[in-house]
Each structure stands twice: as C-alpha cells, then as structure tokens.
Amino acid sequence: MSALSTWLNESHIQYVNAVDDWQAALVARPLLNDGTITADYVANIIKQRQAVCPYFVIAPRIAMPHARPEEGANKLGLSLLKLRDSVSFGSQENDPVDVIVMFAAPDKNSHVELISTLAEFLSDDNVMDKVFKAQSQPELSKIVNDFN
Amino acid sequence: MKIMAVCGAGLGSSFMMEMNIKKVLKNLNISANVEHSDLGSVTPDAADVFVMGRDIAYSTNLPESKLIVVNSIIDIKELEAKISDYFQKK
C-alpha cells in the first residue's frame, strides 16, 4: 500500500480559518488548479447534495465530497482542507464539519489503493484526533507524512 | 448472504464502507459477499442487506428490514456493533 502522501502532497493540504458556507468549502483549489477536476465536478457535487442529501458527510465533523468519474474527474486526486471555524452541511447527524477530504477518480477501478489508504487514515481515531486539533498547514502535512 | 454498501455516487464512501465491512466480517468470523453501489441504481433484490449512512437512508425506498443504518461510515466499532446485531437477530 502506498503512503497517503503519494496523493496528499504539500500543495493538496490546506488550512483555512473560515468559509462563508459549505459550497465555499468545496472549492478545492488544489484539484482545480492541477487539472484533476473541472469546475463541473464541484457543480455536480453541489447538485447531488441538493437533489439527494449530504451523503458525503461521512462521519462526525468529516465530509468526503466526490462525484462520479464522468462528472468532471480527469485523473486520480485527493485534497484535504481543515477549517478553523466549522461549517454546516445540513447533515442531521454529523454537522458541523471542519475536515473536508475531496477526492476524484477517473474510472471505477484506479482508486482502489487510494481509497483503502484513505479509509485507514480516516478510521484511525488517534490520527484523526490530531487532524481535528491541527492549527496550521505544516501541522497537517506532518500528520499526513507521518502516516504510513 | 450478500451485503451491499450504498452511497450517493457509488464509488467513494460506499467503497470505503465495503472495505470496512469486510474487516468487520473477518473480526466476527462471518462469511458474506460484500459489494458497493450507488443509491440510484440499487434495487431491493440486489442484496440481502444494505448498509448506508443515515442521511442517505432517508431517501431510499429499500425495505427497512433490509437496512443497516450507520451514523459514521468510517467508525469500525459502530459498524461492527450494528452488523453483529443484525446477524444475531437473524
């Protein structure tokens, strides 16, 4: 299994004090900037959220927004955003959210390794405790780099 | 026995749940097929039991008797408790 830092390098980890609303928290600049996703990808996530429900708020405080490959994912990618001030996604159980992990996969198979590594990361209470407490980008980078 | 992990898009959170369910089944020494799907294309006869987050469970038309609803899809302990419960009641 590859290290999480393979996908989550320095430029894909952000620490932001506050955002206006949940849509603003989805603007995952790193993935847009490097061409991993198109602007449509984000629009599709917002559309799905409004049509169905905030299904991508996967656990207390954690959102993992993603759409389908054909909805604007050019390649495999992952970004992590930690907010100082949490934001509401309208999730009955898991609001408010302060950790947003966005991922994109270009097809149904190439993300197997990424997802299994990410699942290990998100399911590790000790690691996530550090992520929740982190107060800067370098702190977050260190947590990701230390996770193997 | 077939277990289906369900999420909105059918490739991210449901896939993660599929992996965690497999881990839990191993711990519980239960053997079952586990797959994942998106909410839109899932039908009641696609599996014996469906595992999904609470948010999504509100909008499904699958029979309640076939649902395992979780608050967190990454909390192995919650998943293990609910799956073990389901198999004990069977």
Q: Which residue has the tokens 């987050």?
A: B53
Q: Indicate the residue type of B66.
A: K
At A90-112, the pLDDT tens digits run 887 889 999 999 989 888 777 88
- Mark yes or no for CB contact B72/A48 under 8 Å: no
Question: For chains A and B, what is the number of CB pairs under 8 angstroms?
Answer: 88
Which pLDDT does position A121 carry in this prediction? 94
Of the candidates A21, A102, A96, A12, the one whose C-alpha atom is nearest the C-alpha of residue A61 is: A96
Which pLDDT does position A98 carry in this prediction? 96
Q: Residue A111 and residue A114: Cα distance in Å, rounded?
A: 5
Spatial neighbors of A19 by CB under 8 A, at least 6 apart, are A25, A83, A85, A87
Q: Is B57 on the interface with A (CB under 8 A)?
A: no
Q: Is B54 on the interface with A (CB under 8 A)?
A: yes
Q: Is A44 exposed, middle or buried (0-12, 13-18, 19+ CB in 10 A)?
A: buried
At B57-79, the pLDDT tens digits run 877 888 888 999 998 988 999 99
Q: Residue B40 and residue A73: Cα distance in Å, rounded?
A: 20
Which pLDDT does position A111 carry in this prediction? 80
Which pLDDT does position B9 carry in this prediction? 74
Checking DSSP bridges between strand B67-70 and strand B49-53, what pairing results, if any? parallel
Checking DSSP bridges between strand A97-104 and strand A77-87, what pairing results, if any? antiparallel
Residue ranges in chain A modelled with pLDDT below 70: 1-2, 28, 52-54
Annotation marks residue A66 as catalytic: yes
Superfamily of domain A3-146: Mannitol-specific EII; Chain A (3.40.930.10)
Q: What is the pTM of this model?
A: 0.87
Q: Which domain holds residue B80?
A: 2-89
Which pLDDT does position B46 carry in this prediction? 93
Number of domains in chain B: 1
Question: CA of A19, closest CA in chain B: separation in Å?
Answer: 23
Q: Is B76 on the interface with A (CB under 8 A)?
A: yes
Q: One of A61, A66, A82, A111 is an active-site residue; which one?
A: A66
Which pLDDT does position A28 carry in this prediction? 67
**Is the per-residue pLDDT at B10 higher than 90?**
no
Domain boundaries, chain A: 3-146
Which pLDDT does position A128 carry in this prediction? 96
- Above 0.85 for ipTM, yes or no? no
Question: CA of B79, closest CA in chain A: separation in Å?
Answer: 11
At B24-46, the pLDDT tens digits run 999 999 999 999 988 888 899 99
Q: Residue B75 and residue A52: Cα distance in Å, rounded?
A: 23
Which pLDDT does position B58 carry in this prediction? 74
- CB atoms under 10 Å from CB of A147, counted, come to 17
Which pLDDT does position A134 carry in this prediction? 97
Q: For the domain that residue B72 is a member of, what is the CATH number?
A: 3.40.50.2300
